[in-house]
Amino acid sequence: MRKLLLIPALMLGTLAVASDYNYEVTPVIGYNIAEGNIDLDNYATYGGEIQYNGLDSIIKPELSVLYSKADYESPSTLDTNVWRVALNGVYEYDKVGPVIPLAKVGLGYENMSDTYATGNSNSAFVDAGIGAKVPFTENIALKLEAVYMLKYNDTRYDNNLALLAGINIAFGKRAQDIAPVVAAAPVVAAVVDGDDDNDGVANSLDECLHTPAGTPVNERGCALDDDKDGVANNIDQCPTTAFGVEVDTKGCALDDDNDGVMNAKDICPSSPVGAEVNSDGCPKVVTLDINFDNDSYVIKDESMAQINAYAKFLTTYTNYSAKIVGYTSSRGSNAYNQKLSENRANAVTAMLKEKGVNANQLSSSGMGEANPVADNATSEGRAQNRRIEAELTRN
């Protein structure tokens, strides 16, 4: 009797699969490299893929259709229409950061409208591919693939490599269809096989058998997580985190340098503690660790690491500009120190240009002995005041 009562519960349990959507459609565009077709040029290809996720299987069936208009190699002026239809099995790996890797293999058929007795022929082919999906939202993602195809022509094997990119759209959400039926299943099964974690979902249907007591769960016995960040609703202190953003144990976007800008948007992830930053997480004023000898504007060798790092930032993020400001200690006249501070700023600016920074991103000025950062009464303080600061501006 116990086994008979479990049968309907287990059958309903098979309806709950990993994917939330039954279908995925991907219009694709790409480039075909005709590695073995010595009489065809490489050519663009277009088409679409549709994947069905409704089966209780880790392998998902996919129908792929690709079309190309291919030119025969010079001096020929002929061309041919190429149609390829393939049925593949797709396996998706666990997410790596924001990326979902995938692999597929299958069989297809290639039809060429004109073969011109070149050795090409219409025939079946086998294919294998790798790729990845990069989600933008819960059901829209960028899909990238490399698909290798091998077919046998009349006298030879030909192989093609298609590099494809497209927008993957998932639809047909499953939860709305199965929720009313599954909701009743735990009541029947719980009497039969128990509910070890007391979450209201029978063991035979519970995919998360060790849910902490009191945690709200879905029909599969797993903690509710509305923003899908991996942190259950009842402990999520940031319940509306954007999809795909990396979070901490509290469900809030990671901010390793605690500057108020989450890692995903922070292009300066090592901002000094307490520094005032902009919306990119970059300090508005950066004190370069560049100091000068007394009465000198020659850049020391030990300062080159700082110069190189700053140049790399400005050449990478060309929407930023930097104003290089020179300073001196209080030794000497005001007029002399003003000129010396300008020379120091100009020396650093010139060095940044040598490192590839666009001149339009740079400006310089001297402040003389103004704004000391240390006591000019000591030699150590004066050494710290002979310095450069950089005012960073987002254009």
Mark 130-149 as b/e (b = at least 16 C-beta within 10 Å).
ebbbebeeebebebbbebbb
Region 132-136: mean pLDDT is 94
Domain annotation covers residue 6: no
Largest CA distance in the chain: 102
- Residue 37 banded pLDDT, cuts 50, 70, 90: low
Q: What residue type is assigned to position 337 of the chain?
A: N
Statement: residue 178 has pLDDT above 50: no
Instruction: Give the number of domains in the chain.
Output: 3
Tell how strand 285-291 and strand 123-135 pair up.
Answer: unpaired
Same domain, 269 and 385: yes
Do 196 and 316 lie in one domain? The reply is no
- Residue at 209 is within a domain: yes
Residue 5 lies in a domain: no
Whether 207 and 317 map to the same domain: the answer is no
Percent of the chain with pLDDT over 70: 84
pLDDT of residue 340: 96
* CB-neighbour burial class of residue 126 (10 A; exposed 0-12, middle 13-18, buried 19+): middle
Q: Is 4 within a domain?
A: no
Q: Compute CA distances 165 → 75, 144, 218, 226, 384, whole Å.
A: 31, 5, 35, 30, 54
pLDDT of 189 reads 46
CA–CA separation, 366 and 348 (whole Å): 12
CATH of the domain at 132: 2.40.160.20
315 and 189 within one domain: no
State the pairing for strand pair 285-291/140-152. Answer: unpaired
| Same structural domain, 152 and 267 | no
| Residue 193, in any domain of the structure | yes
**In this structure, are 380 and 335 located in the same domain?**
yes
Angle at 288 between CA 286 and CA 290, to 5 degrees: 160
In terms of domains, do 199 and 118 share one? no
Cα 355 to Cα 388: distance, rounded to the nearest angstrom = 18
Cα–Cα distance list, 136 to 102, 167, 169, 337 (Å): 17, 10, 10, 55
Co-location of 27 and 158 in the same domain: yes
Domain presence at residue 291: yes
> What CATH number has the domain bearing residue 335?
3.30.1330.60
230 located within any domain: no
Looking at the structure, tell me whether residues 49 and 166 fall in a common domain: yes
Residues 25 and 168 in one domain: yes
Grade residue 11 by pLDDT with cuts at 50, 70 and 90. Answer: very low
pLDDT number for residue 15: 35
* pLDDT band, residue 287 (cuts 50/70/90): low
Highest mean pLDDT of the ranges 7-11, 72-76, 293-297: 293-297
Is residue 160 within 8 Å of 34, Cβ to Cβ?
Answer: yes
122's tokens: 């219409």
The answer to whether residues 189 and 8 touch, using CB atoms and an 8 Å cutoff, is no
Domain membership of residue 1 (yes or no) is no
Cβ neighbors of 251 (< 8 A, separation 6 or more) are 227, 229, 231, 235, 236, 237, 238, 239, 241
The confidence band for 135, taking pLDDT boundaries of 50, 70 and 90, is very high
Question: What local confidence, expressed as pLDDT, does residue 378 receive?
Answer: 95
Q: Which domain holds residue 219?
A: 175-223
Residues 152, 181 within the same domain: no
**Same domain as 135, residue 270:** no
Helix or strand holding residue 182 (H, E): helix 175-193
Q: Is the pLDDT of residue 191 over 70?
A: no
Other beta carbons within 10 angstroms of residue 242's beta carbon come to: 13
